[in-house]
A and B are shown apart, each in its own frame.
Chain A
Amino acid sequence: MTESAAVLIRIPTPLRTYTAGADMVAVSGDNVADALTALGRQHPGILERVLDERGELRPFVNVYLGSANIRSLEGLGTPLEMDDILAIIPAVAGTIPR
């Protein structure tokens, strides 16, 4: 059995309250879901802001692998390689008042 890939996850400012201010967190995982789960184990509370109750990516959160949105790859099942960098990107969105 090969070792899981060691990857880095960029943490956006609003979620750094869960990581004691850290902007990057090192984790291991064979795919994006594994890496996010590992992040959640290290920093309780953060995973719930990224994934919904069914374990799917929340609609207003994006995760990028390098410069590619994982939604355009294989989603949470996107495989990871050693030294990949994931970025959690919070949606910046809204509407005018009704």
Chain B
Amino acid sequence: MNPILVLPGPLQAEMEMLARRGYPRESCGLLLGWSGENGRHVVHYQQPGHNLAAGNDRYELDPEDYLAAEMAAKAAGLAIIGTWHSHPDHPARPSATDLALAWAGWSYVIIAVSSGNVAELRSWRLGGGDFAEEEIYHD
């Protein structure tokens, strides 16, 4: 059974807008919410982050944005349950580097942006050394 990510439509639209706006650079952010039954992840909001990486083919979220998001999550009784980033002109599947740098238990939403338009959005979760694709529900 694939892991499940509950991602409300308006939040998906928000991330897609940021990914389009950031093109041709990679955009990134954090997913805040909670972990429910059977490891289901429910996203309550997303927090965009600054991409500190040089070049259009990589991202590195500013650790200060992470710290701020973690404190905001705690204050709201939530947790950081994953991240999102865009792949400009590349498919929405994780790269070998994405895998090498991934943390077990988090959801990794990837938004493929092609010529400035969103081509697809998929989400992945690391388990047993590899990514499994998440099923995305919108409510």
Q: How many residues of A contact B (CB 8 A)?
A: 22
| A2 close to B (CB within 8 Å) | no
Residue pair A67, B74 in contact (C-beta under 8 Å)? no
With A93-B61, A95-B58 known to touch, is A12 a contact of B95 (CB < 8 Å)? no
For chain A, residues 64 to 98, give those with C-beta under 8 angstroms from any C-beta of chain B: 64, 67, 69, 87, 89-98
- When distances are taken between beta carbons in the complex, the residues of chain A under 8 Å from B83 are 92
| B37 close to A (CB within 8 Å) | no
State in angstroms the CA–CA spacing of A97 and B63 once bound together: 23
Contacting B64 at CB < 8 Å: which of A14, A17, A60, A67? A67
Chain A contacts to B: CB under 8 angstroms: 10, 12-14, 17, 23, 60, 62, 64, 67, 69, 87, 89-98
Chain B contacts to A: CB under 8 angstroms: 26, 28, 30, 49, 53, 57-61, 63-64, 66-67, 70, 74, 79-81, 83, 85, 87-91, 93-98, 101-106
